[in-house]
Structure 1
Amino acid sequence: MQIDDKLLTKLEGLSALSIDTNKREEVISELSKIVQFVEILNELNLDQETATFTTLDGGTPFREDTPSVNPEIIETILEHAPKSQDGCFVVPKIIE
């Protein structure tokens, strides 16, 4: 994958960032190095490899995760919220 000015402009829009004109070449260079490294990793043949780390082995030493509904707690939390409606937080709309 080649990083160019067109792709950088697209990434700026997707990330809601703005890159200074004088730093664009430096950013393109750094992103290209990252992509080259990932492409090298993609060349590794890991078909015969097994995962050596997992958080699932041995279970969890913590309590059982059982849901409980306490209306008092919900009311207390919503009292401190800037806006709430029907037992839920009301947040500003960010996606049109």
Structure 2
Amino acid sequence: MAIDSRVVARVAHLARLQVDDGESEALSERLNDILGMVDQLQQADVGEVEPLAHPLEVSQPLRDDQIDEPDVRDKVLPLAPASEDGCFLVPRVIE
């Protein structure tokens, strides 16, 4: 699929962006170049390649979970506008 200046103008309108005619032609060329590179990448044979979580063989050193602050819930819970069963109650934001 080739992107021409009409497509760029339509997308710019939908995105509420101001794009001049000269910029529209340059953008369509750049977007077509990007799509061409994507097409080249999609033609690569990756059937034998295992998926990686990270491109390098590294491990994440993890520290032990240690509580280093005192539990102050019993002191601050009475200060809350609303609480129930030891939890803070907050107003519903999403309905």
> Taking structure 1 as the reference length, what is the TM-score of the superposition?
0.52
> What is the distance in 1 between the residues matched to 2:31 and 2:48?
31
Code of the residue aligned with 1:27 in structure 2: it is: L
> What is the distance in 2 between the residues matched to 1:35 and 1:28?
10
Code of the residue aligned with 1:42 in structure 2: it is: Q
Q: Partner of 1:32 in structure 2?
A: 32
Larger radius of gyration between Structure 1 and Structure 2: 2
> What is the distance in 2 between the residues matched to 1:17 and 1:71?
49
Q: Partner of 1:42 in structure 2?
A: 42
Q: Where do residues 1-96 of structure 1 align in structure 2 (5 Å cutoff)? A: 1-54=1-54, 61=62, 63=65, 86-88=91-93
> Taking structure 2 as the reference length, what is the TM-score of the superposition?
0.53
Does the residue aligned with 1:88 lie in a helix, a strand or coil?
coil
Does the residue aligned with 1:2 lie in a helix, a strand or coil?
coil
Structure 2: runs of 5 or more not aligned:
66-75, 82-89
1:58 CA displacement: 5.3
Moved >4 Å (runs of 4+) = 57-60
Structure 1: runs of 5 or more not aligned:
64-69, 76-84, 90-96
Identity %: 15
Tell me how large the CA RMSD over aligned residues is. Answer: 3.7
Q: Partner of 2:71 in structure 1?
A: none
Code of the residue aligned with 1:51 in structure 2: it is: P
Aligned residues: 72
